[in-house]
Amino acid sequence: MSQPVMFNGRLNKSESDIWIDLLNETSKTRFMDRDLTKQYLALPESISFVSSVENQIIGGTTIYRDRTRLSMVLVSVAVKKAYRESATYHIIKSSLPFFKPVAIRDVDVLVSSNDGSDSIGFPLSLEVEPWAVDAIKRVGFDMVAKIGQYSFELSQKQDNRIKWDNEPNLEGAKELIWDQSKPLGLTNSLVWLARDFAEDQGTLMTFTINNKVVAVVGLWQFGESLVVSPLVTDPEVLDWSQVVKAIISEGVRSKAERVHLPIVGLGQAGLIEELDGMTNFTSSRKLSLLRKPL
């Protein structure tokens, strides 16, 4: 008896609810806000795929084209439990380029070491759950870096000496990220995705000194939580205590009780040390950044 054939297809932007429901059904990370998730999926460079067997959707992926690094991000993998062992590899592989295109050099994916139940949720936290790791590695991804995720409670008010620009300096932000990505441990397309999404949603902010951007952040407020993504600074101009005080000040101003940092590189260890001294940590997670060259 022949095996049923799996069909793969790309979703239209108007079909975002199909992907959101699939993610919510199959993943413990789920989504943090349905409207925000729809807005992310509506981005021009966001692409969603689903795979079906006998007219039943069994899984899918979401990818993002990073035109700045000429790369892609495997943003999310969602597969029903009954099909994970047999179909995850094929679902992931079918959503990636079959040959090396000129405009895409590699693909990044962030993998969690736990089930993701403590994640802040899609699309500001973009880790793939560990059940997909074996299939991801079989497709050709290798570990290239560690990324941290941190959450903390605000315990005291801090003076903020950073005055954000009236309008974000987009070119200056791009230059800062290019210059600081390597020393901060953030050479990946997740940071550029975060920058693009923050710009699209009007949450991107920059700080300029002597006509040079020295800090770029995305500030996302959800109820009693403030999410900071991206977070890139120039440590030679701004010491970490200034950055932490600015984050705390923004949290207090927005009446947030908790602040989440979903993308922190190893080169930002000084930031975490300062946070540890000024706030109450609630969680700390390490995730693996894997990359597949094309």
Q: What is the pLDDT of residues 86-96, one digit of tens each?
A: 999 999 999 99
6-147 CATH, one of 3.40.640.10, 3.40.630.30, 1.10.10.10, 3.10.20.30: 3.40.630.30
Band of the pLDDT at 119, cuts 50, 70, 90? confident
Name the average pLDDT for the chain. 93
pLDDT of residue 102: 75
152-285 CATH, one of 3.30.70.3000, 3.60.70.12, 3.30.950.10, 3.40.630.30: 3.40.630.30
pLDDT of residue 1: 46
When pLDDT is averaged across residues 17-29 and rounded to a whole number, the result is: 91
Band of the pLDDT at 2, cuts 50, 70, 90? low
The domain locations on the chain are: 6-147, 152-285
Q: How far apart are CA 6 and CA 1, in angstroms?
A: 16
Find the length of the chain.
294
Q: What is the pLDDT of residues 244-271, one digit of tens each?
A: 999 999 998 889 999 999 999 999 999 9
The CA-based diameter of the chain, rounded to the nearest angstrom, is 72
Band of the pLDDT at 113, cuts 50, 70, 90? confident
Q: How far apart are CA 125 and CA 33, in angstroms?
A: 12
